[in-house]
Amino acid sequence: MNQYKVNIHDIVDKASFTAFHWKVLLWCLLIIIFDGYDLVIYGVALPLLMQQWSLTAVQAGLLASAALFGMMFGAMIFGTISDKLGRKKTILICVSLFSGFTFIGSFATNPTEFALLRFIAGLGIGGVMPNVVALMTEYAPKKIRSTLVAIMFSGYAIGGMTSALLGTWLVKDMGWQIMFLIAGIPLLLLPLIWKFLPESLAFLVKSDQHDHARSIVTQLAPDAELTANTQLVLNETTTTEAPVRALFQEGRAFSTFMFWIAFFMCLLMVYALGSWLPKLMIKAGYSLGASMLFLFALNIGGMVGAIGGGALADKFHLKPVISTMFVIGASALVLLGFNSPQFILYSLIAIAGAATIGSQILLYTFVAQFYPTAVRSTGMGWASGIGRIGAIIGPVLTGALLSFELSHQMNFLVIAVPGVIAALAIFLVNLKASVSAQATSTFSTQSSFTQQ
């Protein structure tokens, strides 16, 4: 009997943008919006929490780190689990965790309760990121892959902006609790996410759910001619049963460490600014409302930087784009330490957001395209998890800097240094070890369809 092998990655790479792609993009975008909202609300609530519980700057930084510890473990655990359990189920678990426990956090009566609830919520916040990026990367056509993933992940910045704006309008009159109550909305959407969010195509093929996989292929590539005799295959060799070990095989070890360093430095900057920017600007003489608008400008810059950087990466490559953005961001942070007209100040904050939040988003995209599909979530989960150590250090370090009463210029200079280190780490990533380079070499002499 004739059996045709169809390479699913080849179909996805060459597919036109369809309604199916819109569905994946919009659901992943919505999830990331709430994920970003849940994370940034601590920065919005921080000034009021410090007053209510009489927290010092160092204590407040440690409290911010509770969610970040959870994110570190969540990224590692759920990033690895999803390569075995499937992206869809893992995403639903993570949404339940970050939405449910952020909602419950509104009822916390002391810092200890609050920290415990933020830790559990952090497990979901950290775990959902690598999985939605992996899912979007897997379904995005090759020619616009970086742009689509960047658009999807810009929901992180949209969530942060929403949090900042709502904080400006609501927190002053209704207290910080209202922000955490709003975070429970995604719990109501879980049935819809279960119904409409597709499972990973590679996972379906590997788990022998070929009928389901064929139905998805016909949606994302209506012109594909599939029959009952069509066998869907992957374009990569089977990886080891220990997915973490695969991150260091086939020449990927050095680049894996470089990604980890870049994530560490990038997330240190992102969370130092996200947690402390309003407080830093209040200390510089601005009002609470104006300080919230600075947080809004930071996230606007992050969204523009991610989408613009993604478009540039599809034209050139992620490596030079990300390295350049880190250098520009470090320069903007240094300049923030000097007195400037308000327009210049907002512009510098937006540039800093583009280079920190935007680069974080593009880093996920880079890692997603670097590793094989079988360990993609594992690669992103571990890079993100290691990066969370930087995210934990960032708020604590900034709180310590404030307690030392250092100059405004010195505070921003310290936050800028990691940007230079991250730029160097990305510059040293070996592109020849990426799965795309290996796939090009492996399949340059093969056709996408093989008849047996």
DSSP 344-381: HHHHHHHHHHHHHHHHHHHHHHHHHHHS-GGGHHHHHH
What is the identity of the amino acid at 301?
G
220, 139 contact by CB (below 8 A): yes
- Determine how many CB atoms are found less than 10 A away from the CB of residue 400: 15
CA–CA separation, 360 and 270 (whole Å): 8
Bridge partners, residue 7, by sequence: 233
Residue 451: count other Cβ atoms within 10 Å of its Cβ: 8
Whole-number Å distance between alpha carbons of 77 and 79: 6
Q: Cβ neighbours of residue 349 under 8 Å, at least 6 residues apart?
A: 277, 294, 297, 298, 301, 332, 336
* Contact of 256 with 247, CB cutoff 8 Å: yes
Which DSSP string do the residues of 314-337 spell out, in sequence order?
A: HHS-HHHHHHHHHHHHHHHHHHHT
* List of long-range contacts for 317-324, beta carbons under 8 Å, 24+ apart: 317/431, 318/146, 318/362, 318/365, 318/366, 318/369, 319/366, 319/426, 319/427, 319/429, 319/431, 321/362, 322/262, 322/359, 322/362, 322/363, 322/366, 322/423, 322/426, 323/423, 323/424, 323/426, 323/427, 324/423
The answer to whether the CB of 187 falls within 8 A of the CB of 336 is no
Place of tokens 């659901």: 27
Distance, CA of 376 to CA of 179 (rounded, Å): 33
How far apart (Å, rounded) are the C-alpha atoms in residues 199 and 201? 6
HSE-CB for 372 with a 13 A CA cutoff = 23
Check if the beta carbon of residue 391 is closer than 8 Å to that of residue 266.
no
**In 3D, which of 145, 20, 35, 134 has the Cα closest to residue 88?**
134
Please report the sign of the dihedral spanned by the C-alpha atoms of residue 46, residue 52, residue 57, residue 60: negative
pLDDT tens across the length of the chain (452 residues): 445 666 676 777 777 788 888 988 999 999 988 887 887 787 778 778 888 888 887 777 778 778 878 888 888 788 778 877 888 899 999 999 989 999 998 898 888 899 899 899 989 988 888 888 888 888 888 788 878 887 887 787 788 778 877 877 887 778 788 888 888 999 999 999 998 998 887 788 777 777 777 778 777 777 766 655 666 666 554 444 556 777 777 777 888 899 999 999 998 888 777 767 766 666 666 665 666 677 778 878 888 887 888 888 778 788 888 999 999 989 988 887 777 777 888 888 889 888 888 888 788 878 877 887 777 777 877 887 788 788 778 777 777 777 777 676 777 788 888 989 999 999 988 877 665 555 444 433 333 333 33
Quickly list DSSP for 401-439.
HHHTT--HHHHHHHHHHHHHHHHHHHHT--GGGSHHHHH
